[in-house]
C-alpha cells in the first residue's frame, strides 16, 4: 500500500510531462550519472528488459535528447548521455522530482530516516530472497 502511494506520486509527475514512470526513471538515472551510464546499467537498476530500455532510449534519441556512444570495453553496450537539448528538456522534470524527495526527507527526524532506511533494507532484502525462492 505504501509503495503504491509512492509509485503513484512518480506516475503522476511523469504524466504531467507526458511520460511513463519507466521513462521518468530512465531520465533520472541518466541525469544523475555524471559521465553517462551504460544501457545495461539502466536495465539492471530498473530491472527492465533490454527491449524496454532500448525503446525508451530510442524515443529520446530520436527527439535529440540523448547521445549514444559505444562503450570502450564492450562495443555492444552503449553509453547514454544527455545532449544539451536533452539536458534542457530534463531540467524541468528530474530536479523538481529530486527536490520533492529531498523536501520529503527533510520533514522527517534523523532517527526516523535511519529507522526507515534500516527497515526498508531488511524488508527489501527479505522480499528479494522470497521471490528468488519461487519456482
47-75 pLDDT tens trace: 999 999 999 999 999 999 999 998 888 77
In the chain, the number of structural domains is 1
Average pLDDT over residues 71-100: 93
Q: At what angle do helices 21-31 and 39-46 cross, to 10 degrees?
A: 130
Which pLDDT score, from 0 to 100, does residue 1 have? 67
Average pLDDT over residues 93-121: 95
Pairing of strands 78-82, 37-38: antiparallel
Task: Look up the domain containing 53 and give its range.
Answer: 25-133
Domain assignment of residue 2, yes or no: no
Domain with 46 in it: what CATH number? 1.10.10.10
5-50 pLDDT tens trace: 888 999 999 999 999 999 999 999 999 998 999 999 999 999 999 9
Domain assignment of residue 20, yes or no: no
Domain assignment of residue 100, yes or no: yes
Domain assignment of residue 65, yes or no: yes
**CA neighbor of 66 nearest in space, from 98, 94, 37:** 37
Domain assignment of residue 126, yes or no: yes
Kindly state the cell numbers that stand for 42. 539502466
Amino acid at each position: 500500500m505504501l509503495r503504491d502511494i509512492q509509485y503513484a506520486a512518480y506516475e503522476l509527475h511523469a504524466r504531467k510531462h507526458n511520460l511513463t514512470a519507466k521513462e521518468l526513471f530512465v531520465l533520472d538515472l541518466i541525469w544523475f550519472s555524471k559521465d553517462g551510464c551504460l544501457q545495461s546499467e539502466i536495465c539492471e537498476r530498473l530491472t527492465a528488459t533490454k527491449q524496454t530500455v532500448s525503446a525508451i532510449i530510442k524515443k529520446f534519441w530520436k527527439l535529440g535528447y540523448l547521445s549514444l556512444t559505444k562503450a570502450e570495453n564492450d562495443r555492444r553496450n552503449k553509453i547514454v548521455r544527455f545532449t544539451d537539448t536533452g539536458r534542457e528538456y530534463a531540467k524541468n522534470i528530474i530536479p523538481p522530482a529530486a527536490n520533492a524527495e529531498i523536501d520529503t526527507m527533510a520533514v522527517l527526524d534523523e532517527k526516523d530516516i535511519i529507522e526507515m532506511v534500516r527497515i526498508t533494507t531488511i524488508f527489501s532484502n527479505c522480499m528479494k530472497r522470497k521471490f528468488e525462492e519461487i519456482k
